[in-house]
Structure 1
Amino acid sequence: MSEVSRRRPLVLVSSVSSDSHTWNLVFLQLLLEETGHEVVNLGACVPDELLVSECAAHRPDAVVISTVNGHGHVDGQRLIDRVRADERLSDLPVVIGGKLGVGDEDDTALAAGLVQRGFNAVFADNADPASFVRYLESVAPPRLVRDAG
Structure 2
Amino acid sequence: MRRRSLDILLAGTASDSHTWNLVYLQLFLEERGHRVGNLGPCVPDPLLVRECAARRPQLLVLASVNGHGYRDGLGAVRALRRAGHTLPVVIGGKLGTAGEADPAQRALLLEAGCDRVFDDGDTHALGAYLDTLAAVETRAAA
Aligned to 1:96: 91
Return 5+ residue gaps in structure 2 as ranges: none
**CA contact 1:11–1:40 (8 Å) conserved in 2:** yes
- Residue 51 and residue 105 in structure 1: after superposition, are their counterparts in 2 closer, same or farther (change >3 A)? same
Q: Which amino acid aligns with 1:49?
A: P
Query: What is the number of residues matched between the two proteins?
Result: 139
CA-to-aligned-CA distance 1:89-115 (integer Å, 9 cap, x gap): 1x2100000111113665222212211
Partner of residue 111 from structure 1, selected from 106, 113, 118: 106
Structure number with higher relative contact order (C-alpha < 8 Å, ≥ 6 residues apart): 1
Partner of residue 56 from structure 1, selected from 48, 53, 56: 53
**CA contact 1:62–1:136 (8 Å) conserved in 2:** no
Return 5+ residue gaps in structure 1 as ranges: none
Choose 70-79 or 6-15, whichever is displaced more: 6-15
CA distance in 1, matches of 2:130, 2:4: 15
Partner of residue 84 from structure 1, selected from 74, 81, 85: 81
CA distance in 2, matches of 1:123, 1:79: 16
- Residue 118 and residue 6 in structure 1: after superposition, are their counterparts in 2 closer, same or farther (change >3 A)? closer
SS at match of 1:111: helix
Q: Which amino acid aligns with 2:37?
A: V
C-alpha RMSD over aligned residues? 2.1
Q: Which amino acid aligns with 2:130?
A: L
Aligned to 1:139: 133
Task: Report the TM-score when normalising by structure 2.
Answer: 0.88
Aligned to 2:44: 47
CA distance in 2, matches of 1:45, 1:113: 22
CA distance in 1, matches of 2:101, 2:127: 24
1:63-74 superposed matches below 5 A: 63-74=60-71
Q: Identify the structure with the greater strand proportion.
A: 1
